[in-house]
Chains A and B, each alone.
Chain A
Amino acid sequence: MIKKIKFKLNIKLSEGILAIFLIISGFFLSFSSGGFVLNFKNIGFSIFSTLEMQFHNIGKGIQGTFNAVRELSDLREEHNKLLAKLEKYEQMQRSNAEIRKENERLKQQLDFSQSLEEMNYPALIIARDLNETNPMITINKGSSSGIKKNMPVIAFQNGNSGLVGKIVEVGKYTSMVLPIYNSNCAVSARMQNIRDLGLATGQGSIEKSINLHYIRKRALPDLNVGDLVVTSGENYNYMRDVVIGSISKISITEYNSSLNIEVMPVIDFQKLENVVVVNMREINNTKE
């Protein structure tokens, strides 16, 4: 009898806990765009993303240690063999070339940052959420550096500057960026040549192109593959004329009054390491 009661209680307890957990998660899910839930998430994000940054640093540290050990063993071999002197020289040459490249890259970033009219904050990408449902990018600057929600994020890569996305979550030392390839990201865009207005939305994946909607069919003769698409600057969400990408495909659907345009982002998100967060409300004091 006692055993039976215990068994029943046990069943009820586990299912009861399941129901409570599902109600709580369902509640949060339902109100995930509401006020207090957002703050709660913000607090959690601040705590755990700081921890995430520490993990990132530890990972880099471990990688650095392994590299150091490897270099040490190389040096030992070089010490014992005469030929190793040449190897060491070559290695130094290689490392020199790498430093020069890194120096050039950082100089480009600095020049780019100083050339902007608006106040801006250069940042480093520390984590990427690759899931197709809601891909995000985490950077190493937060509210302590002056980052605020909805600030546009741009980048300078291979001589081109382009739009990366906007800030959607700000922690103390880290922030989350909604990239333009996220399906929830919509950017008011304009064709650079013909100045037609459209709406650029992502498809959720880093490999897929961006869709440009609401470009009227009449504009077709003036459009070519490779034409640039820039931000319109309307609503002051993004700066005006920041390059989003170039047209990669134009197609027509009979029943649709507008064209189906696919845009290839100017930024290669796979290789992106540094970004610049722009504060559109303040002037850049470092500009010469």
Chain B
Amino acid sequence: MRKSILCSSILLLTIIMLEKSILSNISILLVVPDLLMICLIYLGLLNGKIYGESFGFFSGMIEDFLSGVPFGFSMMIRTILGYSSGLFHKNLNFRGILMPCLIVFIGTITKCFIIWLISFFFPNFVAAYNLFSFRFLFEIMGNCLLAPIMFKVLSFFDRFLSITKEELI
């Protein structure tokens, strides 16, 4: 279990660094796909609610340290996303191509909804997403296209990422 938590934490930290320091500097990308969200959804589906929300909370905290959003903003979004994906632990077959796309599509919409909800309570700090903007369209497309690839790549490391042993059988 310790090994799995350590591996998952390193994975999430690497993804955040990759997203913030390398991908965000590539000017041809109009938006950076939310790799952290895809990874978090995968870990939630693999390990359940408790681990999903915990990974979400701590990865959100690191993201808050590195970005300009108010402290606590990403923490809240990632915690809810991790918990929500953990709800479907063992209830959903997330292998293949179509299911990861669908799951991440719903995840991105949920993220957008949570941001809208937070912006409702903190209108001075947080600006809500525009659902009909090209930016959101590109983000959702990028996330959905990357989801099957990332799920497949992560599935090779299930042995290190899965906390519940029966998942591996």
**Which A residues fall within an 8 A CB radius of B?**
13-14, 17-18, 21-22, 24-30, 32-33, 37, 40-41, 44-45, 47-49, 51-53, 55-56, 59, 126-136, 138, 168-169, 176, 178, 182-183, 204-205, 270-271
Contacts and interface: CB of A to CB of B under 8 A. Distances in A.
Contacts of A25: 57, 60, 72-73, 75-76, 79
Contacts of B25: 56, 126-128
B115 A55 contact: no
B64 A132 contact: no
Contact of A24 (B20, B27, B68, B75): B75
Contacts of B76: 22, 25-26, 29
Nearest to A179: B68
B169 interface: no
Contacts of B157: none
A19 to B, nearest CB: 10
A32 B71 contact: yes
B65 A134 contact: no
Interface in B3-41: 17-18, 20-22, 24-25, 27, 29, 31-32
19 contacts: A18-B53, A18-B83, A24-B72, A29-B73, A41-B65, A44-B61, A44-B65, A51-B17, A52-B20, A52-B21, A128-B24, A128-B25, A129-B67, A131-B67, A133-B69, A134-B68, A136-B68, A204-B127, A205-B135
Contacts of A14: 48-50, 53, 83, 86
Nearest to B22: A59
A29 B127 contact: no
B126 interface: yes
B117 to A, nearest CB: 12
B75 A21 contact: yes
Contacts of A29: 70-73, 75-76, 118, 122, 125
B40 to A, nearest CB: 13
Contacts of A13: 50
Nearest to B17: A55
A130 B65 contact: no
Contacts of A55: 17-18, 21-22
B54 interface: yes
A63 B31 CA distance: 22
A30 B50 CA distance: 25
B66 interface: yes
Contact of B70 (A32, A126, A178, A270): A32
Contacts of A131: 67, 69
Contacts of B122: 29-30
A205 B31 CA distance: 11
A126 B75 contact: no
A184 to B, nearest CB: 8
Most buried by A among B29, B122, B127, B135: B127
B75 A127 contact: no
A52 B60 CA distance: 15
Contacts of A135: 68
A130 B68 contact: no
Contacts of B67: 129, 131, 134, 136
B18 A133 contact: no
Contacts of B53: 14, 17-18, 21
Contacts of A40: 71
Contacts of B20: 52, 127, 129
B80 interface: yes
Pairs of residues from A and B, 3 with the lowest C-beta to C-beta distance, nearest first: A28-B72, A136-B68, A29-B72
B55 to A, nearest CB: 11
B62 interface: yes
A167 B105 CA distance: 36
A41 B71 contact: yes
B127 A32 contact: no
B66 A130 contact: no
Contacts of A44: 61-62, 64-65
A37 B127 CA distance: 21
A48 B62 contact: yes
Interface in B110-154: 115, 118, 122, 125-127, 129-130, 133, 135
Contacts of A56: 21-22, 25
